Amino acid sequence: MGVQRFVASNSREAMRQVRSALGDQVLILSNRSVEGGVEIIAMPEQEHEQALSSVDGPAEDVAPAEAPMATVTDPTVETLQALNRQLLDDVRAMLREGVASSQASTPSLATILRQRLIQAGFSAALADEIIQDSPDELRDEPAESPAVTAWLVRQLSSRLSLLEDEEALFADGGVFALVGPTGVGKTTTTAKLASRYVMRHGPKDVALVTTDSYRIGAAEQLRIYARLLGTEVHALEQNGDLGDLLTRLTQPRRALLSRSAGKKLTVIDTVGMSQRDQRLVGEISRLGSGPAPARRVLVLNAASHGDTLAQVIDAWQQASLEAGEPLWGCILTKLDEAARLGNVLDVVIRHRLKLCYVSRGQRVPEDLERVDATSLLNEALALAGESPFVSDAAARTLPPQQARQQAISRGVLRQSDALAATLDTLKQHNLGMTLLEQAWHRTRLPTASGGDEFSRLMAGVTQQSLLSAADTPHALYWSKAVSVSGADQAMPLVSLDHQGMPQPLTWPRHRLPAGSGEQFRWAEKLGAGWHLMTQLPTVADLERIDAAGRGWLAAVTGARRIRHDGEWLALSQAMALGETLEPRPLRHQGRAASLHLTRLETSISQRRRDSHGLPVVAWYGEIRDADEGRRLARRFWLSSSHPGLDIASRLPQAVIAEALPGLTRQADQLLQARGLVEDREQRWQLASTLSALALRLSAEEANWAMDVRARLSGIAQRRCGRRPRALLEALMDTLSAHDALAGLASSDRALAA
């Protein structure tokens, strides 16, 4: 059999091929990324032992023959003999230690990503923060794959604060002062910024001011730009009164040359100063005079070293704070001259500066552009490479425990950012998340007031208003109207998005109108486009749903009788006549699986003797293991026959929703153990809401969900993966931690007041 080579799209598939061909007793000789996936070279352990024996055997036989040669005194012969023995020992060692050395030389994904970030110019601290909670979905991906790069870009982008609306900035106007060291391009950037305004609103409402009386030609350079733009320009002497000039420029009644209106946008080109210059504080203080303090925008040279940039930001931020206001934002210049962009982006991220613009050349106004975070970060990662200025120590990976301790020691502020980012992402993609966060906060209030607030927030009318305001298609999940196994309450109704994924909005069953007909009429007010049911209603109820133009999907058993071609058949028997569809991927009980579907157009009636039947579509699904193809489970459904609703694409979500009742019971037990929500009914509703969110996170394939799962693992200090129970606990930890930090902030503000 010998040494064999296996190539697959990922490590998991390659190892499956290895075990299938060579069995479990196998030695991995090589494991590396290649074009098209992963390459593994392996051989059976038994053949490896035989190879070692074949090497050791001849060596022992040769030894006696070498004895007579020991008397040879020729030093050249002795040297060759020693070299031969050394080579033979080296071959033996390589064969015995081949597997260990091969595995040790294959760096982990986290190690490669850390080195990639550092080689792009990002700091080791930021690299460790990003990779410590990488998603499980990326473990088998090559480090250079688009999915891994996209994840890195999203993590960096989420930490980068940007100017959101340039139009609103120009509409509001104001006074902006470009500050920074000498030679970073403040004068040119002043002209570029003014030109962007002029191109939209004309030159009438713009004024340029320079306070640089030190650099020869500074004022003249700005005058040239002003003539080209058609704007006013004012050069202030070293001891000139900046406040008086700004007042005359911006106040309508005191405008220069009897104009009736002041300038809407004033851009100040300040004198360049070293971060160590003692006059820095005084120069910044001048910008605080006038009718309103000038917003200070720090101009940074992207080609500078990261340590230098950090010193510049620290010095100018400190001087700005002493003058009464922090830096408003920053502009990056000379991107076209920078060997790497990671260093400047790293310091901007770590110092929480708002990045407004980037500049790549001298042309006015073409070379000043808004920030496209995705393009900029992709460019930064593309510039990664070996550098003699990056030490080996910086590229080393810390042991997991030490990395975790270092991450924890970074402080409450960074943890607060992670919590806020996680909750913001959940709010953006999950209708009802804002309501859930508020309801969780009410559980911390005293029993009486907290209970009343909780009831008001989670009232049906509140959630109905939220659905109406969102104006997005949605559905409803109806569990059986009996108590959940292991609990004494029925599963609430759960809101689903249009594709059938759970949303954190629920309605207790006991608050619904009595009777199934009244309940479906109540549901029509919510605007649900279709219904997912775990129990088939009466045919009369289904006809009412069809008449209202709503779709439906209900789980049934194979023994359910249908009327097909005049025969009264069991569903399991009739599905042999159906049409086979393409399999659909899904996750079943924590593993990758596929749903193999069969579809049959048929009809049902309440009783066999009924003269007519309701047209429906019958479905049979086999859930099979994605790797081995063996059947894990099977399901039967009936659905409406309306052609406008793609039921087949929603059947995987129907399988996922089966876990909602059991997960709600677990959530209720966790809430009770944590001493939250004494009222039993309120706790059950909160449990169902949390369960809906946790279940969606476990099943959702979108990038936002992958990022949230990774962040939740970091917040909870344990790897959650896609396990619903683990994600449920991590969500509770996240909400509790965010609530606690918000309480600390409120206490600090109260003490300060």
The 3 state secondary structure assigned to 177-191 is: EEECCCCCCHHHHHH
H or E element that contains 564: strand 561-564
| Coil vs helix vs strand at 47 | helix
Picking from 229, 130, 139, the residue whose alpha carbon sits closest to that of residue 711 is 130
Whether the Cβ atoms of residue 543 and residue 604 lie closer than 8 Å to each other: no
What's CA 427's distance to the chain center, in Å? 13
Question: Cα-Cα-Cα-Cα dihedral of 299, 304, 305, 309, to 10°?
Answer: -10
Which tokens sit at 587?
Answer: 């996750």
Report the pLDDT value the prediction gives residue 473, as an integer from 0 to 100.
84
H or E element that contains 437: helix 433-442
Report the pLDDT value the prediction gives residue 67, as an integer from 0 to 100.
40
- What is the tens place of the pLDDT at every residue in 150-202? 999 999 998 899 988 888 888 888 888 898 888 888 888 888 888 988 888 88
H or E element that contains 505: strand 502-507
Q: How far is the C-alpha of 124 from the C-alpha of 477, rounded, in Å?
A: 47
Maximal C-alpha separation, the chain: 115
DSSP state of 483: B
Report the pLDDT value the prediction gives residue 356, as an integer from 0 to 100.
92
Please report, for residues 51, 580, 663, the alpha-carbon distance to residue 510 in angstroms, rounded to integers and kept in the order given.
Answer: 74, 41, 20
Q: Please, how many CA atoms are within 13 Å of residue 239, restricted to the half-sphere of its CB?
A: 0
Picking from 261, 258, 259, 282, the residue whose alpha carbon sits closest to that of residue 270 is 282
Please report, for residues 461, 531, 646, the alpha-carbon distance to residue 498 in angstroms, rounded to integers and kept in the order given.
Answer: 21, 10, 11
Which tokens sit at 170?
Answer: 């120009």
Residue 119 CB burial class (10 angstroms; 0-12, 13-18, ≥19): buried
Report the pLDDT value the prediction gives residue 254, as an integer from 0 to 100.
46
Whether the Cβ atoms of residue 45 and residue 26 lie closer than 8 Å to each other: yes
Q: How far is the C-alpha of 492 from the C-alpha of 483, rounded, in Å?
A: 10
Within a 10 A sphere around the Cβ of 330, how many other Cβ atoms?
Answer: 27
CATH class of segment(s) 165-370:
alpha beta
Picking from 302, 399, 381, the residue whose alpha carbon sits closest to that of residue 348 is 302
The label of the residue with tokens 């910008």 reads 287
Q: How far is the C-alpha of 269 from the C-alpha of 212, rounded, in Å?
A: 7
The label of the residue with tokens 């031969």 reads 84
Domain ranges in the chain are 4-104, 107-163+373-410, 165-370, 414-500+658-753, 535-651
- What is the tens place of the pLDDT at every residue in 350-366? 999 999 999 987 777 77
Whether the Cβ atoms of residue 303 and residue 334 lie closer than 8 Å to each other: yes
Whether the Cβ atoms of residue 659 and residue 725 lie closer than 8 Å to each other: no
Whether the Cβ atoms of residue 326 and residue 317 lie closer than 8 Å to each other: yes
One-letter amino acid for residue 318 of the chain: Q
Whether a cis peptide bond, with omega within 30° of 0, leads into 508 is no
Q: How far is the C-alpha of 470 from the C-alpha of 622, rounded, in Å?
A: 36
**480 contact partners, CB below 8 Å, separation of at least 6:** 490, 491, 534, 535
Please calculate the CA angle 537-553-686 and round it to the nearest 5 degrees. Answer: 85
- Give Rg (Cα) of the chain: 35
Which tokens sit at 654?
Answer: 């129907």
Picking from 705, 707, 712, 706, the residue whose alpha carbon sits closest to that of residue 727 is 712
Q: How far is the C-alpha of 190 from the C-alpha of 208, rounded, in Å?
A: 8
Q: Is the dihedral of CA 456, 458, 464, 465 positive or negative?
A: positive
DSSP state of 490: B
Pairing mode, strands 584-588 and 161-162: unpaired
Q: Which residues of the chain have pLDDT under 50?
A: 55-73, 75-76, 79-80, 83, 87, 91, 94-95, 97-105, 254-259, 392-395, 400-412, 448, 450
Report the pLDDT value the prediction gives residue 58, as an integer from 0 to 100.
45
Please report, for residues 113, 117, 352, 373, 599, the alpha-carbon distance to residue 158 in angstroms, rounded to integers and kept in the order given.
Answer: 17, 16, 12, 9, 44
**192 contact partners, CB below 8 Å, separation of at least 6:** 357, 359, 364, 365, 367, 368
Whether the Cβ atoms of residue 451 and residue 457 lie closer than 8 Å to each other: no
Report the pLDDT value the prediction gives residue 468, as an integer from 0 to 100.
66
Whether the Cβ atoms of residue 179 and residue 284 lie closer than 8 Å to each other: yes
DSSP output for 372-390: -HHHHHHHHHHT----TTS
| Coil vs helix vs strand at 601 | strand
Please calculate the CA angle 379-38-591 and round it to the nearest 5 degrees. Answer: 100
Q: What are φ and ψ of residue 206, in 5° steps?
A: -115, 140
Helix (H), strand (E) counts: the chain: 28, 24
